[in-house]
Amino acid sequence: MKIQTARSTRARVSVAKALAAAVALAAASAAQAHPGHGTEGFAAGLAHPLGGYDHLLAMVAVGMWSAVALPKAWRAAGPAVFLTTLLLGAVLAIRGIGLPGVEAGIALSVVALAALMLGARRIAPMAGLALVAFVGLLHGHAHGGELTGGHSFMAYAAGFMLASTLLHAVGLGAGAALQRLPAWAWRTATALIGGSGLLMLAARL
């Protein structure tokens, strides 16, 4: 009993640390962001994924799902797939190649990722990775669409790729920690993410 209590306490501490990291990242975005997501180089790229709850929740959700649904040796695959299509989506945007319904799609993607988390142990990993890839494409297109003329895409991209990697790491840590807690903790986190996505979707329709 004492061992289980100690493990439960450590798990709660881990979750608290993960949430604190997410808060710290969001605070950093507030300090660096400009109205309308400014795109002045690396700092703006770093701020962009942190300045919107849709981006932040999606990337944390990808990490959380990966921590639960993928074998331990392959847990980095979820973030890696997302980051790859994130960059591809940004490149499409700066080349003027549009995607339909990006803003509504991004909000819907948060809901879809919550559903993926809910079925983490029942949905085939490859199907989950396909959804992660598509979501990354949408979010990357939104990032790239914010780049204005005269600014370095490389610096901007380096910023949003770094921020996205940090958010994935927070999600991986939170997902692993939640697995050591009762099942209701995972369901609650999933409901909060999915509910937030529904609210954002309703606001954009």
How far is Cα 81 from Cα 133, in angstroms, rounded to an integer? Answer: 6
How far is Cα 117 from Cα 193, in angstroms, rounded to an integer? Answer: 10
What pLDDT sits at residue 81?
A: 98
Tell me the pLDDT tens digit for each residue of 80-108: 999 999 999 999 999 999 998 898 999 99
The domain tally of the chain equals 1
How far is Cα 105 from Cα 185, in angstroms, rounded to an integer? Answer: 27
What is the percent of the chain where pLDDT is above 90? 63
Number of Cβ atoms within 10 Å of the Cβ of 107: 24
Domain that holds residue 7: 2-204
Higher-confidence residue: 58 or 48?
58
**DSSP label of 96:** T
Spatial contact of 47 and 32, defined as CB atoms under 8 Å apart: yes
**DSSP label of 148:** P
The two most distant CA atoms of the chain are separated, in Å, by: 62
What pLDDT sits at residue 146?
A: 83
